[in-house]
Each structure stands twice: as C-alpha cells, then as structure tokens.
Amino acid sequence: MSEHWLRSANESGSLRGRLLRRLAVLLALILMLSSLSAYWSARQAADTAYDRTLLASARAIADGLYTTAERLNANVPYVALDTFAYDSAGRIYYQVLDVQGALVSGYEDLPPPPPGTKRTEDYPALAHFYDAEYRNQGVRVVSLLQPVSEPGVNGVAEIRVAETQGARERMAQELLLGTLLRMGLLSLSALLLVWLAVTVALRPLETLRRTVAARASDDLRPLPDTQMPRELRPLIDALNQFNDRLRGLFERQSQFIADASHELRTPLAALKARVELGLRAQEAQVWRSTLEEAAQNTDKLTHLANQLLSLARIESGARAIAEGGAQRLDLSQLARELGMALAPLAHARGIALALEAEQPVWVSGEPTLLNELLCNLLDNALAHTPVGGNVILRVLPAGVLEVEDDGPGIPPDEHEKVFARFYRRSNKGSGAGLGLAIVGEICRAHQAEISLHQAQPQGLLVRVEFVSAGI
C-alpha cells in the first residue's frame, strides 16, 4: 500500500497527489515553526534547570564562608561542584570575592556581570544571571551577593559560579529531537490518514469514470446521479447537458442527411429517367431538348447541393463564433460588394437593385456566413420579384439589415414556417426551400433577430437586427 501511496502522491495530474503535496508543504512549514518554538522552549527549560543548579552551587559555597584574623576565607565544599562532576559535556568554574572585591578563592579572571544586569526575580536571593565568554567558550554565570557580618569583616561578598553551555545545548537538542520525532510521526500519520480519506472520498468519481468509459460511443443517455455525492452532481448535470446538446447535434445531422437524401433522390431519378428517355429517341431535336432539360436540372441540383453545403458549414462557423473566432466587419462594405456582384444578374432579369448604406456599420461575426446570409436574402428577393420590379438592400446605423422587394410577399401565417428546412409554400416555385432556412441558421449563430414584414404597397421586407453592432 505504501508503494501505491507514493506513486499516487507523485502523479502530477492527480487530485490525490496534489492534495498530499500541498498538505505536506503545509505540515513542513508547521513543523519548522514548531521546531523553532520547541527549541526555544527546550532551551528555556534547560536554562531554568541549570540556573537552579548554578544557584545551588553558589549557595553551597556561600555557606562555607568564614573569617579568621579579620579576613574572609572560603571553605568550598565538594558538594558545590559535585553537581557537574558527572556531566562530561560541561565544565564549572567558581570565584569568591571578599567585601573589598579581592579574590578569596577560585579563578581570578571570571568575567563580572555586565553593567545593568538585573537581579533575578525567580529565586529569593541576591543573584544575577548572565552569559559571558570565558577561555574561548560560552559560559553561563551566576553572581550571588552574600552579606557578611563577622568581627572585623562587615559587608557583601560575591560568589560567582560559571558553567559552559555544552550541557544546556545537549539537553535542548535532546528535547528538540524528541519533539521533532513525535511531530514527524504525527505528520506522516496525518498524511496517511488524509490519503486514506481522499481515496475513499474519490471512489464515486472513479465509479463515474468507469461508467462513462464502459459506455458505447453512441450511448448519450443521461448519467445517473442518485448515488453520487452532492459535490459531483453539478459535474454530472454539466455532462448530461453536454450529452443533450451532442444528441441534438447528432439528430440534426441525421435529419439533415435524411432530408438531403430525399431531396436529391427525386431530381436525380427524374434526370436519369429524362436522359434515358432521350437516348431512346432518334431525332436530333429530341436529343437537343433532352440535353437542355438535363442542363437545367443539373443547375438546380448544383444549386441544391451548394445550399446543402452551406447548411453544413453553418455548424463549424457557429462553433468558431462561440469559441471567440468572430471578426469585426463592416456590414455596409459586405452589402456593397455583394450588390455590385449581383447587379448584372438583376439587370438581366429586368429588376432594379438599389443599395442604401450611408455609413460603415460594424458588427461582430464570421465573414463567410454573413456573406452567405446576404447572398441568400438577395437571391430569394430576386427570385420572387417580377420583371420591372425593385429590390432594395438597406444597412441602417443601428446594426439593422433590410432586404425589401415588391414581389407577391408571404402571408403572415407562414412567416415562421418558411424558416424550416425544405419548406415550400404550397409547392409553389422551383426552389428547394432552403434559402430562408439557411438565413435563419446564420442569424441564430450570430445571435441576431430576423423578422418578416409586409412591404408597402406590396412585397416582403426581411429585417435582421445584430445585437453585436458597434462592438
């Protein structure tokens, strides 16, 4: 289990490993701060213990003071120094000064208390504790003031006892190492418990992964969330919504293929039958008539195929817009270029094509789709406008595009139906019923609103309003 834990902890993409690494860093920081605090506490504990011993030694020496011939003497008992006899890490020094500050016994060069050293308040004694440097070693020194009132000697004697810092540091290190060992074991235990808890908590996610992996590529049923934790339900809802959109896309593609197959099968069959019938004839005039009809039918099929391809391209264009691939385009410039391209066709049909675009109108969109939208609107208007009629293409400053013709128009009850694919108005006309359907899809891709209105005195006015105008 330890190898699996280490492998999981080292996985860069693992939530478990990421959590354990961050927790380990946090525990290491806490361990470092705790180590500093533990060392400080251990050193204080060592200082307190050894300071008490130093003071006891100084008191033992003070108890051995006596006077002879008006002179202070010191009888240093062995017990005063015996406390440190078994401590190989430290060494003790002492000094006894009489009331005039003259050396009575001990080492004569022990450092005195620094100026301003305060008397200790931890013990009921006239004692001062301080750190000093003696014989190239750091020492801890206690200075005990001992009042002396004997015949011929009256004043305050001073007893100094110094100890090297080795014993204190060793005691502090032992306390620190013990604390670190316990905290390290506690941290490792915490990491192990967290790993176990995270492993148990992530089991529903692993169950979800296996459920998704075991599904067939075309299985888009909603994922169950009845036995999932509350935290995973938003993820499951998002996956189900994505599956719904994907299922809708597949259904539209399937419907598109079915409709395209149906729409292509009939004219292809008619074209084949007319060609076969013409081949049976012997007269050249019949052959010529057959070829002309075949050419006309081929043009219709080519137009239908182009419209079907336009519908297929809308999906990729809409996806590009949704992913931030829209461009800032001048709608007036697009209308002007397309109007000039279609002007010869309108003139050949005896239709007056006018453009009203006074200033640039900027919109956010996909240029190919917008050009397809304009082309289909103008093509539809030209197809339904009689000879001598008028078609007007307007680009208004508010991001509104209008195409107006004076043809027969569309009854209000059919305004919504004409945007359906392959819808033909009572089988009138020779179109495939895809022009306005393409326009509607492009408008949805650009989040634009399209509406149909009755032109005056007659005809149809198609209005497209872009919400991204001026962006």
Q: pLDDT by residue (tens digit) across 34-73?
A: 777 877 777 777 778 788 888 888 888 888 888 887 788 8
Read off the pLDDT of residues 217-264 as tens digits, 9 standing for 90 and up: 777 788 877 777 777 778 888 888 888 878 877 777 777 677 667 667
The label of the residue with tokens 């032992």 reads 174
Which CATH entry fits the domain spanning 327-465: 3.40.190.10, 3.90.45.10, 3.30.565.10, 3.40.50.920? 3.30.565.10
When the pLDDT of each residue in the chain is averaged and rounded to a whole number, the result is: 80
Least confidently predicted of 132-136, 153-157, 234-238, 337-341: 234-238
What is the distance of C-alpha 107 from the center of its chain?
Answer: 71
Tokens 């290491």 belong to which residue? 28
Q: Which residue has the higher pLDDT, 370 or 418?
A: 370
Stretch 155-163: mean pLDDT, rounded? 90
Looking at the chain, the whole-number percentage of residues with pLDDT higher than 70 is 87
Evaluate the CA torsion angle 433, 436, 439, 443 in order and state its sign. negative
Residue 391 has pLDDT above 90, yes or no: yes
Task: Indicate the domain borders of the chain.
Answer: 65-166, 250-322, 327-465
> What average pLDDT does the segment 4-26 reach?
65
Give me the pLDDT at residue 89, please.
Answer: 54
What pLDDT band is residue 170 in, cutting at 50, 70 and 90? confident
Question: With 90 as the cut, is the pLDDT of residue 195 above it?
Answer: no
Tens digit of each residue's pLDDT (9 = 90 or more) over 396-433: 988 899 999 988 888 888 888 887 777 666 545 555 66
